């Protein structure tokens, strides 16, 4: 019985291998396949010692002549570099070349070997769709290269920078945090998508320049050939309203060779105050409007300091101890006199009762001006309440 079982298993395996082998030979007989031979080299077209391309030759065998599309990508980190080639292959062995941009290799600033992956397709149909023939992932490892062997990008960050605050209205507070970065350009050019971000421990604070409506993202800047200085002007008001002290980190993703830089130490109170600023929560209490002994509202009194008379909106967001949102409200003030004023927020008691969680409750307060620009933000905690004290 055991012998018959073994013979049966062997027979099944042989049948599977025969079918599998037949599929492979059928693909090779009727189509095209990668032979497994690859070769890489640098292409330095202007003989300046820096290659414009990393060339990878891919050998294919076609049983019939025809047109195909070859896609390839190389990577030795999480930033792959892509290239494609339209092929007109003859019957037999063919060599197709992929040219990977040396500037992209240089931009990544990573030395080492590259893993090659390739995909072969039939030409697109009338609808533009490609039909896949074969994929090979991490099929080949290139020679070792230093990124400095390749053509550098047109514009690079040299690594030199400085930062300082400027006070434009002489009130002792910085209206802007200036970060100067040194650039080196091989030729004068417009550089698009240029924007710097200001962060503190991965918390975004502000950016410069701000996104442009005309360009939908960030406007291009004009960079002169040679060494020049570009200034980031980070809004002092936005730094202050985040209530985060420095040092700050500056990033610029669109600028090749830009590594995050760190500013000097600053206190957020060193920067310009907005037109109005939340001082803090003065008090909170339940309000019974119909005399039935239950609170119709939770009233929170907030002190705001106005330095510019304008229209402002104070929004409040109420959360339970588990961090779940209960309700929110807002109050709009119109052209109050300069100075400190108390603004009330009233949260519906029914929403608090419906949540069925006792206090104290967490508060997030946000103040915006007439242009919907955030002027200030504060957090706080209410007194203790039982949800049953509020109107059902």
Closest of 238, 177, 208 to residue 374, by C-alpha: 238
Domain 31-149 class in CATH: mainly beta
**Gap between the Cα atoms of 317 and 361, Å rounded:** 10
Non-local (6+) Cβ contacts of 118 within 8 A are 34, 58, 70, 71, 72, 98, 135, 136, 139
Q: Could you tell me the end-to-end alpha-carbon distance of the chain, in angstroms, rounded to an integer?
A: 78
The CATH topology of domain 276-389 is Immunoglobulin-like (2.60.40)
Confidence class of residue 154 from pLDDT cuts 50, 70 and 90? confident
Domain 155-270 class in CATH: mainly beta
Residues 352-375 pLDDT 10s: 999 999 999 999 999 888 766 667
Q: Which helix (H) or strand (E) holds 24?
A: helix 2-30
Confidence class of residue 2 from pLDDT cuts 50, 70 and 90? very low
Could you tell me where in the chain the CATH 2.60.40.10 domains are found?
A: 276-389
**Gap between the Cα atoms of 110 and 99, Å rounded:** 18
Mean pLDDT of the chain: 85
Give the pLDDT of residue 283. Answer: 96
Give the pLDDT of residue 210. Answer: 54
Could you tell me where in the chain the CATH 2.70.50.60 domains are found?
A: 31-149
Torsion of CA 231, 237, 241, 242, to 10 degrees: 0
Which tokens belong to 377? 């933000």
**CB 198, CB 215: distance < 8 Å:** no
Closest of 106, 252, 152, 109 to residue 193, by C-alpha: 252
What average pLDDT does the segment 218-246 reach? Answer: 86
55-69, 86-100, 156-170, 197-211: lowest mean pLDDT where? 197-211
Residues 46-87 pLDDT 10s: 999 999 999 999 999 999 898 999 999 999 877 899 999 999
150 dihedral zone (left: phi>0; alpha: psi -120 to 50; beta): beta
Asked if residue 19 has pLDDT above 50, the reply is no
Confidence class of residue 262 from pLDDT cuts 50, 70 and 90? very high
């Amino acid at each position: 019985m055991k012998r018959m079982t073994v013979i049966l298993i062997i027979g099944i395996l042989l049948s599977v291998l025969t079918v599998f082998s037949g599929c492979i030979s059928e693909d090779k007989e009727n189509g095209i396949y990668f032979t497994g031979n690859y070769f890489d080299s640098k292409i330095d077209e202007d003989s300046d010692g820096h290659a414009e391309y990393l060339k990878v030759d891919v050998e294919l065998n076609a049983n019939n002549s025809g047109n195909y599309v070859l896609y390839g990508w190389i990577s030795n980190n999480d930033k792959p570099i892509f290239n494609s080639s339209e092929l007109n292959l003859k019957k037999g062995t063919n060599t197709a070349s992929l040219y990977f941009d040396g500037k992209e290799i240089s931009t990544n600033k990573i030395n080492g070997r590259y893993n090659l992956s390739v995909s072969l397709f039939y030409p697109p149909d009338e609808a533009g769709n490609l039909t896949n023939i074969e994929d090979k992932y991490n099929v080949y490892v290139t020679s070792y290269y230093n990124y400095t062997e390749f053509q550098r990008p047109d514009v690079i960050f040299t690594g030199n920078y400085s930062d300082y605050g400027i006070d434009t209205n002489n009130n002792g507070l910085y209206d802007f945090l200036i970060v100067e970065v040194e650039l080196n350009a091989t030729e004068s050019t417009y550089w698009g998508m240029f924007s710097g971000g200001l962060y503190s421990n991965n918390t975004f604070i502000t950016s410069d320049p701000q996104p442009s409506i005309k360009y939908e993202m960030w406007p291009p800047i004009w960079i002169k050939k040679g060494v020049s200085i570009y200034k980031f002007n980070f809004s002092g008001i936005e730094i202050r309203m985040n209530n985060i002290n420095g040092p700050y980190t500056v990033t610029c993703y669109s600028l090749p060779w830009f590594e995050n830089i760190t500013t000097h130490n600053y206190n957020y109170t060193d920067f310009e105050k907005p037109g109005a600023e939340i001082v803090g929560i003065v008090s909170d209490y339940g309000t019974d409007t119909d005399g039935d002994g239950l609170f119709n509202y939770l009233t929170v009194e907030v002190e705001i300091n106005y330095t510019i008379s304008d229209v402002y909106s104070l929004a409040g967001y109420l959360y339970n101890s588990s961090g779940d949102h209960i309700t929110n409200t807002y109050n709009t003030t119109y052209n109050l006199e300069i100075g400190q004023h108390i603004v009330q927020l009233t949260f519906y008691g029914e929403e608090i009762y419906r949540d069925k969680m006792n206090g104290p409750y967490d508060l997030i307060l946000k103040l915006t001006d007439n242009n919907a620009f955030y002027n200030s933000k504060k957090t706080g905690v209410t007194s203790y309440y039982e949800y049953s004290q509020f109107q059902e």
